[in-house]
Amino acid sequence: MFFSSCGDQNKDTTVVDSGTYTGVAETVNADEKEIYVRTDDDKLIELYMTDSTEMMMNGKKVMFDKVEKGQKVKVTVEKKGKKNVPMSVMLMEKDMKKDDMKKDDMKKDDMEDKEMNDKNDNYE
């Protein structure tokens, strides 16, 4: 407990303009109900959940403990002073690991190659 907050505080976070952002929950701090969201444009937003923050998943309200590290999220934030206040956090599917993505890409490539070969065979 003594060191967890001290370590997190050195993260290079950005205060973004009010709006809606998609990204990945890079760090989830359950004790402080806090998440760090890495946005699609590579900004790190620090968000402390408040009593008025709505947390949704599949159209239903959920508790904070549903958020997992690496989960894709869509957050609506308001810029207040030098901080971002989360108005709503929508939990989306968990972010795919890079290896899995590579495998999927390779599968797609194989399929495309097969299709091409089949077409070529038909022409011949």
Partner 1 sequence: MNEVPSLWRQEVWHALSVHLPIVTLLLSTVFCILWLVTNTSNQSFFKKSTVVMLIIGVIGAWISIYSGEFAYDMAVRKICDPQVLKDHMYWAYFAAYTYSGGLAALIIFEFFITKSLVKYLLILILIAGLGALLYSGHLGASLVYNQGAGTYRPSGDCSEFVE
Residue 68 phi, psi dihedral angles, 5° rounding: -125, 155
- Mapping DSSP to helix (H, G, I), strand (E, B) and coil, where does residue 6 land? helix
Q: Which range binds partner 1 by CB under 8 A, 54-62, 79-87, 98-106, 107-115?
A: 79-87
Helices H / strands E in the chain, number of each = 2, 7
> Which phi and psi angles does 62 have, rounded to 5°?
-130, 165
Question: Given the complex with partner 1, which of 10 and 122 has the nearer CB atom?
Answer: 10
Residues 3-62 that bind partner 1 (CB under 8 A): 5-6, 9-10, 32, 46, 48, 50
Point out which residues bind partner 1 (CB under 8 A). 1-2, 5-6, 9-10, 32, 46, 48, 50, 80-83
